[in-house]
Structure 1
């Protein structure tokens, strides 16, 4: 794999992904964690641009059984082979962003897409690895922890569970699975803007079914339009409706005001969630090692550290003894 700078592991979290996308200059989108692809969930999140699926990687990954067997050309698809350690999350995000025409990519990603348009998948992967913007934004989420081994890759270890991100999205009337560790895009068959998430649900369920009931480590996120923008536009629409009503339309006015109040509540919750995401991201990036070191040093100087260690050790031994007697 390419070593174009070390790429850190990043946490599977909608707040992390949303801030990462914003850091690359993309406007008007966010990531939401979802637990179902049912119609009501998808209707609430519309428009959904694509899905990001996290699963435990297996060495002998097979092509999904739902794959379409035709030989449709894929030169209209941005597909990059993963040639970078730990880059699968960012590549899954890019797989959606760079295959949509209805997302404001910003100048740098738009130029990157145009520059790499005719590149083969391996060269697209190398272009990602050499992008200062993409690498620096990705690595801005590196954990400030000297005890964490940041360099891990699905093909790099046999002794631990390793996880991998892939993307699902509709492209020109077909549902595609885009996995940087595959040789190319996987066509899962024709779909429409209305039913593609149902088809993706089938493909994801099929993949999860290979693991049996013992495996629970999956995560699914949706790349959607910025919910703050959506709610603000909907509130503005309600205001326009209110202004257009005749003075005697009290029942209709009350109904619209109730709907507007509900949207205001959702907007308030969304803004609170963004503030929480920002705070959590700041904490992720902060190095707490000096704080911990100084706390331990002060306790040692006060001769309070050894008694605390002894007390904690005795507590653990007592708990282990209690469990062994069960």
Structure 2
């Protein structure tokens, strides 16, 4: 049910597909319920055992008891075995962790800190407030840290957004135009010959190192 819920979520599907690389050439491919079909595989600890929830399997797969304090250590070799079944360089899946939103969690923590700070600084007497001076200073420091965490997280998300936009951009028209201009100015072949020589030198260096 959890796999079905994830697969049927339009928001998750959009986010998942937003990281797909831009296809230079479009081609038709028959859809089939195979390992490469769009679906989610989840790993989750339940009552001390590690279960795999595959959207294409009829039921959960029990991977055995979790013998470590951190269940991530138990799932790591299972995921690594799955990854190793593919050739190096192949990308057939994305590895994602379902976690709480860091900004939301930090904002929630900051709200609790501000509530506590308001309570401590609005005591009936200044003497009571002075008695909480150390705690007030600590809360203010933690609030400043929360602001910094949120700032860094926003910067990181903006950076990821820019990187993903560049990664998905179709550079083929630019490349073709650049090659056309280089060819028209008779600069293309010298560059090709230079590149060939570099590859040959690199191959010779590699062979001599292995020898």
Same fold, TM-score > 0.5, yes or no: yes
CA RMSD between the two structures: 4.3
Q: Secondary structure of 1:176's partner?
A: strand
Q: Is 1:319 aligned to 2:197, yes or no?
A: no
Q: Secondary structure of 1:146's partner?
A: coil
Q: Is 1:309 aligned to 2:182, yes or no?
A: no
Deviation, 1:275, is 0.5
Deviation, 1:207, is 6.1
Number of the residue aligned with 2:52: 177
Larger relative contact order, structure 1 or 2 (CA cutoff 8 Å, min sep 6)? 1
Deviation, 1:205, is 3.1
Deviations 1:131-150 (A, max 9, x none): 8x876665554432326989
Q: C-alpha distance in 2, partners of 1:137/1:150? A: 23
Q: C-alpha distance in 2, partners of 1:250/1:196? A: 42
More helix by share: 2
The structure 1 residue matched to 2:110, chosen from 226, 235, 241, is 235
1:1-326 maps to which residues of 2 (within 5 A)?
77-80=1-4, 94=6, 109=9, 139-146=17-24, 166-169=41-44, 176-187=51-62, 198-199=70-71, 201-205=73-77, 208=80, 221-246=96-121, 247-248=129-130, 249-326=132-209
Deviation, 1:289, is 0.7
Q: Secondary structure of 1:202's partner?
A: helix
Q: Secondary structure of 2:98's partner?
A: strand
Q: Is the 8 A contact 2:45 2:51 kept in 1?
A: yes
Deviation, 1:190, is 8.9
Alpha-carbon distance change, 239 to 135 in structure 1, aligned in 2, over 3 angstroms: closer
Q: C-alpha distance in 1, partners of 2:15/2:174? A: 26
Q: How many residue pairs get matched?
A: 193
Segments of 5+ residues of structure 2 without an aligned counterpart are: 122-128
Q: C-alpha distance in 1, partners of 2:56/2:153? A: 35
Deviation, 1:197, is 8.0
More strand by share: 1
Alpha-carbon distance change, 196 to 320 in structure 1, aligned in 2, over 3 angstroms: closer
Q: C-alpha distance in 2, partners of 1:211/1:141? A: 19
Q: C-alpha distance in 1, partners of 2:96/2:18? A: 21
Segments of 5+ residues of structure 1 without an aligned counterpart are: 1-76, 81-92, 99-108, 110-130, 158-163
TM-score norm. by structure 1 comes to: 0.47
- Structure number with larger C-alpha Rg: 2
Alpha-carbon distance change, 173 to 147 in structure 1, aligned in 2, over 3 angstroms: same
Q: Is the 8 A contact 1:145 1:289 kept in 2?
A: no
